[in-house]
Structure 1
């Protein structure tokens, strides 16, 4: 006969269960939370009404272009390819030779103090810019095609993600180019090679120094200020009369007889204005006798030879 025993009741240790629950909760709180890593792309496009100018507006003449210099191209801000709003962009391997025309916008107070695509802090008063594909950092010269104003800026951000714009300038750069109030402008963007730019600046500085250092002598001043003396030319003065109509009539009568110009000019003699009738300038003094002979044969005075 199979004998069934009585099962003894199990004693539950509630203290151990409580400790286990508390331990699980604490480990959950102490675990590292997961987060989406930053893409390093400022993918919020600027739209009218969403950004604004700061309260302080510097004068354009006080703003100075960025100074091009060699900087290492780092990974920050140069991930390639990358996507924004479903569109893929590829960063250029080199900025050399880059030149493009298109629309420019600007971004200001809303993004001031935020991180740019390469991890720097955006400063709306600095000469900087955002570009979709140029390596970060690099320098470009931007020309406003409407007024030919120019500025050199340092590219340290990504954008603008707008089909009709090729560059997003800082607030200060937009002031320098004269389109901050309008908001957008048609521009030309051209890469600036730091070596070439520095050579050009050095050449300008040398030329300026040479001009200042060149001694100026009295003779040099006289040579620089003296007006060139025109070569004296021969004329035949036929008459000098006080009546302009008479002078014009005489000149009109002489013109068919000679191939040289016949002129009427006024001169002051004391309080009287005289009108001189002259033939010339003559090609040479040697032609004067033949002209005088023609005039005399036609009944006019031969006149006298002068030079002026």
Structure 2
């Protein structure tokens, strides 16, 4: 969802902007694209005191984690990023996007240690090593991008400053995902597991019950009805594992329920 930096062709920029609105989490405000090129803040503050992101266990967000298409390319979200490493170029984004929504619905802060990646689940923690100077830091990935050939990660202004990428604009980097397991016993503290899939809703309870039984047997999952006013929602689950939830969601959509979606419980 990030613009290509230092472009001088207005037509290319216009094409890019049109495509950016296709991504979940993008802001609909045209002011987001008022600047022809992204820039650093006019009076940069020191980021020496800002530490790298502190990895911790976080459930994946509901926003920004669906497979998507952009400018003719299809992107598949990585379901199990354990052991993921990648080499390529890093770029950065700053004032142009400061204060706007990221792909998972958070607000972008150019002074936070964050980043954007095309396919890692959101949020993810990533160690970034600048191969040009040996500097490294940890960032929290909460956005999509960069959509420029050869570039694998967009760093926030703060993260790019830590790695000395601001002056050069880009740098050769290696990124490595940091996995933080769910703390022992956390799932017992919550009365309900985290995820469920809503398949359909209907005021006809008998029909929903029939569909519930059929899908439960077909997919080998638990089902339940959630009454809301005069409707009954057919839910699959509950599930504790995000990857398993996404696998079931794909199966549901393939058999004809394209509007099915994941809900946090």
**TM-score of the alignment, normalized to the shorter chain, above 0.5:** yes
Are 1:76 and 1:117, in contact at CA under 8 Å, matched by a contact in 2?
yes
Compared CA separation, residues 154 and 39, structure 1 to 2 (3 A): same
Higher Cα Rg, which structure: 1
Q: Quick one: distance in 2 between partners of 1:170 and 1:176?
A: 10
Which residue number in structure 1 is paired with residue 248 of structure 2? none
Query: Please, which of 123, 130, 134 is the counterpart of residue 148 of structure 1?
Result: 134
Q: Quick one: distance in 1 between partners of 2:160 and 2:76?
A: 26
Query: Please, which of 90, 100, 104 is the counterpart of residue 76 of structure 2?
Result: 90
Alignment of 1:204-215 (within 5 A): none
Q: Quick one: distance in 1 between partners of 2:102 and 2:170?
A: 21
> What do the CA deviations read for 1:71-96 (whole angstroms, capped 9, x no partner)?
1113201011x011111100000211
Which residue number in structure 2 is paired with residue 157 of structure 1? 143
Shift of residue 193, structure 1, vs aligned partner? 2.0
Which residue number in structure 2 is paired with residue 226 of structure 1? none
TM-score (norm 1): 0.48
Q: Which runs of 4+ in 1 moved over 6 A?
A: none
> What do the CA deviations read for 1:264-303 (whole angstroms, capped 9, x no partner)?
xxxxxxxxxxxxxxxxxxxxxxxxxxxxxxxxxxxxxxxx
Corresponding residue pairs, total: 157
TM-score (norm 2): 0.55
Q: Secondary structure at the match of 2:111?
A: coil
1:103 aligns with 2:89: yes
Higher helix share: 1
Q: Quick one: distance in 2 between partners of 1:147 and 1:64?
A: 19
Are 1:113 and 1:123, in contact at CA under 8 Å, matched by a contact in 2?
yes
Shift of residue 56, structure 1, vs aligned partner? 3.1
Q: Secondary structure at the match of 1:51?
A: coil
Q: Quick one: distance in 1 between partners of 2:74 and 2:25?
A: 12
Q: Quick one: distance in 2 between partners of 1:99 and 1:77?
A: 21
Q: Which protein, 1 or 2, shows the higher relative CO under an 8 Å CA cutoff with sep ≥ 6?
A: 2
Which residue number in structure 1 is paired with residue 123 of structure 2? 137
Are 2:115 and 2:154, in contact at CA under 8 Å, matched by a contact in 1?
yes
Which residue number in structure 1 is paired with residue 40 of structure 2? 53
Which residue number in structure 2 is paired with residue 184 of structure 1? 170
Compared CA separation, residues 95 and 129, structure 1 to 2 (3 A): same
Q: Quick one: distance in 2 between partners of 1:171 and 1:70?
A: 24
Are 1:126 and 1:172, in contact at CA under 8 Å, matched by a contact in 2?
yes
Compared CA separation, residues 181 and 42, structure 1 to 2 (3 A): farther
Shift of residue 58, structure 1, vs aligned partner? 3.1
Aligned-residue RMSD, C-alpha = 2.4
Which residue number in structure 1 is paired with residue 24 of structure 2? 40
> What do the CA deviations read for 1:105-130 (whole angstroms, capped 9, x no partner)?
00000000000000100000000000
> What do the CA deviations read for 1:234-265 (whole angstroms, capped 9, x no partner)?
xxxxxxxxxxxxxxxxxxxxxxxxxxxxxxxx
Q: Quick one: distance in 1 between partners of 2:155 and 2:148?
A: 14
Q: Quick one: distance in 2 between partners of 1:189 and 1:150?
A: 10
